[in-house]
Structure 1
Amino acid sequence: MAGRFSSADLPLFPLSTVLYPGGRLELRVFEPRYLDLVRECSRDGSGFGVCLILAGRETGEPALPAAVGTLAHIVDFHCGADGLLGIVAKGGRRFRVRGTRIRSDGQLRGEVEWWPEEAPASVPVELALLQTIAERLVEAMAPQWRSAPRTCYDDARWLGFRLAELLPLGGDERQRLLEMTDPLQRLAELRDILPRFQKA
C-alpha cells in the first residue's frame, strides 16, 4: 500500500458536491476539457480527483477546489437522451491537494498526497441508532445500497460515509465529514446533527 506521503498528479473535477470513499457519482460530461479527462482515464485505467468547489462554478473558468478530495474511478458509461455523455464513478481513496496547475486546454491538474486508510472500527452500541436510520434512508433514497450486507452497517467507516452522503447536509458540513480521520468521531458528529431533522 502507498505510504501516507506518497503523491500523484491527478486531473481534478471540481463539483458542487462531495464524493465519499465507496460512494457513487453520476455526471453528465460535455465540456471539452472533461471529455478529454474521461478519455484519458478510460485509456489509462486511471482515476480523477473530485473536490468540492470553494469558489467558482462547475462550468466555465476553472473553479477553486477544496484541499481534500476523493479519487473517482469510472465504472460505467451511457449516452443520455440529450446526447450528452453520462458516466458513473465510484469513490476511492482520499487525498490532499498540495498544488494545482491549469493545462492549455483548461483542465485542472493537482499534485496530491494520498491519505492513509482509516482503521477498521465497529459501530458501538451507543451509536446503533445510526444503523437503523441508515437502513431507512437507503430503502427510501439509495437503491444501489439495498443489497449491501449487514456487515456494512456494522462498519463505522462505511456507515459514516453513507449517512454523510444521504442526509440533507450543506456542502461545508459534507466537506468537514470527509476531512475527519476517525470513523467513530464522524459517527458522533452525525449523531449530534440528527436532532435538526426530527419533526417537531
Structure 2
Amino acid sequence: MPSTEALPLFPLHTVLLPGAPLGLRVFERRYLDLVAECGRQGRSFGVCMILEGEESGAPATPAAFGVEALIEDFGSEPGGVLTLAVRGARRFRVSRTSVRDNGLLVGQVRWRDQRQEPGSGARLLPEHAVLGTLLGELLQKVGGLHDAPNLRLLEDADWVGWRLAEILPITEEQRLALLQEDDPHRRLQHLLVWMDEE
C-alpha cells in the first residue's frame, strides 16, 4: 500500500476538479499561513468539499476525497484579503486528519492519480463519443480557458469527463461522486445517465 503524505487542506462548499480553475478569497490567519507556507516551500494544498461545518470558524468536516490545488496567481483586495487563482491537479484520498494550533486541517493523503499530460490518457469508448462531440460544441459556445481544444483532448476520456463535470449543471454531490471514481469510463457513464435524467 502506498505511503501517505501530509497535505494542508482548504475545505470549501464546492468541489475542485482536476484541471479546473478556482478563485479563492483568503482572509483567515490559518489560510494566510497556509499560502505563505506553500510559497516558501513550493508546495501545493488540498481542496475538499465540506460535509459538515462552515468555511470559516471552527474546522469543518471534509470529504474523504479531494484535489490538489496549484497556485497560478495571486493578488489582494482592500482590507487585507488575499485573492488566489488555483487549478486542480491530482486527486487524493484522506486517510486521517489532524488540526494545527492555528486551526488548519492537515490530511494524511494517498494520491489517486499520477501527473500526466492532458490527451495522454484512455481514449473515449464508442458509446461515449457523443460526450466528446457535446464537449467540443459547449467549449465553442462558452470559450474561455478551454476554447478550441485539439482533437486529441476531445478523445481523452479523463479530460472530457472532467471538463463536462466542470461545465454541466450538476450538483456538488455529483461532482464529489465523480471524484471518488477511478475509472474515467465509469465517470462518463455517470454523466450520460445524469444527462438522460434531466
- Pair 134,81 (structure 1): closer, same or farther in 2 beyond 3 Å: farther
Give matches, 1:39-188, under 5 Å: 39-80=36-77, 84-117=81-114, 120-141=121-142, 143-188=144-189
| Aligned counterparts of 2:32 and 2:112: Cα–Cα separation in 1 | 28
TM-score normalised by L of structure 1: 0.89
On the 8 A contact 1:53/1:64 being kept in 2, the answer is yes
Q: Secondary structure at the match of 2:17?
A: coil
Q: How many residues align?
A: 194
What amino acid does structure 2 have at the position aligned with 1:101? Answer: S
1:116-146 C-alpha deviation (Å, 9 max, x unpaired): 4499211123212212222233334451111
| Aligned counterparts of 2:55 and 2:67: Cα–Cα separation in 1 | 17
TM-score normalised by L of structure 2: 0.90
| Aligned counterparts of 1:147 and 1:109: Cα–Cα separation in 2 | 38
Q: Which runs of 4+ in 1 moved over 3 A?
A: 80-83, 116-119, 139-142
On the 8 A contact 2:139/2:148 being kept in 1, the answer is no
1:178-199 C-alpha deviation (Å, 9 max, x unpaired): 11011011111111111244xx
> How big is the shift at 1:78?
1.8
Consecutive unaligned residues in structure 2, runs of 5 or more: none
RMSD, matched Cα: 1.9
1:40-92 C-alpha deviation (Å, 9 max, x unpaired): 11111100011011001111111100001111110111224676211111111
| Aligned counterparts of 2:72 and 2:111: Cα–Cα separation in 1 | 21
Q: Secondary structure at the match of 2:88?
A: strand
| Aligned counterparts of 2:64 and 2:26: Cα–Cα separation in 1 | 23
Work out the percentage of aligned pairs sharing the same amino acid: 44
Consecutive unaligned residues in structure 1, runs of 5 or more: none
